[in-house]
Amino acid sequence: MTDQGLNVGVVGATGAVGREMLKVLEQRNFPIKKIKALASERSAGKKLEFKGQEITVEKLTPEAFDDLDLALFSAGGSVSKEFAPIAAEKGCVVVDNSSAWRMDPEVPLVVPEVNPDDLVKHKNIIANPNCSTIQMVVPLKPIHDVAKIKRIVVATYQAVSGTGQKAVDELEQQVRAIFNMKEVECKVYPYQIAFNCLPHIDVFLDNDYTKEEMKMVNETKKIMGDDSIRVTATTVRVPVFYGHSEAVNIETEKKITAKEVRALLTQAPGVKVLDNPKENIYPMPIFAAGEDEVFVGRIRDDESIENGINLWIVADNIRKGAALNAVQIAEELIKRNLIKR
């Protein structure tokens, strides 16, 4: 801790993303004067470690924000809807990881490598985008700036950790059950996830797309600042613990070659290019787990249209897809003097 830092709260501190937020704050040496771990009454009293010290989880209450400068929320939409306005009213800047505020026109939806300038409009609430959207727009923004993307077609292959710890446990239990010839139990997902793929993430909407798919459509346009981009998505849950993968096809207004895209992304912030098919080098979840970067490979021209590119994009969904992006937003706020210290 430091006398020069901020008073920081992590809401939902005992969850997978909350714990990762604490880890990222520590690893990046974020300037902290005081840290509070906040959670539901059920989790209050639990002990968490931060910078070699033990901190006690406190119950989330309106009064918890009285002395906080910054609060990183990862406790679900209903909690965010209730407590983020309370925190904001008290002068605490909220970076919220739920979907509660993402499409609110008054709330910036930010990926620091893509649209940091949107932070100047914040009114003490900033939304952290969906994990799948974050990792897609990081490499697409440099391409959009050069060649203007007209259309995006994306299919995702999303790890079970995106659903939470219960889903991670369920995948492990199902694998063990199958190998021990026992009955498989399905509690988190409607069907077995072990050795299976579920083309179903979040609820189905009236248009037969899922909520997750429409998040990618709407959030991409808002983050990129361009409503003219046409986006269509199919999101799939796969039996992987950590790391989302995406097959992305883009159509651009101006011709850009795969070679040019590869060179462009090699210089792009937050991107690591792994792309040498002859040597079997391409991104995979096992490479991305625990890493900060968005990994891109299988970059190739789409030979079915005039101005098309295919990419394979992989990132750690708990880290860059949630916790790291939230902390990077907070770092950008400090850099731009958009948060009191």
Which tokens go with 191? 């069907």
| Residue 316 DSSP SS3 | coil
Our answer to whether residue 244 is catalytic in this structure is yes
Are the beta carbons of 173 and 146 closer than 8 angstroms? no
Measure the CA–CA gap between 154 and 175, rounded to whole angstroms: 29
CB-hemisphere CA count at 13 Å for 272?
A: 16
Measure the CA–CA gap between 32 and 35, rounded to whole angstroms: 7
Catalytic residue chosen out of the listed positions 92, 122, 131, 144: 131
What are φ and ψ of residue 204, in 5° steps?
Answer: -80, 140
Q: How many residues does the chain have?
A: 341
Measure the CA–CA gap between 336 and 116, rounded to whole angstroms: 10
Which tokens go with 30? 């974020």
Measure the CA–CA gap between 175 and 115, rounded to whole angstroms: 41
Of the candidates 76, 78, 83, 87, which has an alpha carbon nearest to the alpha carbon of residue 122?
Answer: 87
Q: In this structure, how many other beta carbons lie within 10 angstroms of the beta carbon of residue 160?
A: 26
Our answer to whether residue 92 is catalytic in this structure is no
How far is CA 31 from its chain centroid? 22
Catalytic residue chosen out of the listed positions 92, 122, 144, 244: 244
- 10 CB-near residues (< 8 Å, 6+ apart): 18, 21, 22, 25, 35, 36, 37, 38, 71, 72, 74
Catalytic (active-site) positions: 131, 244
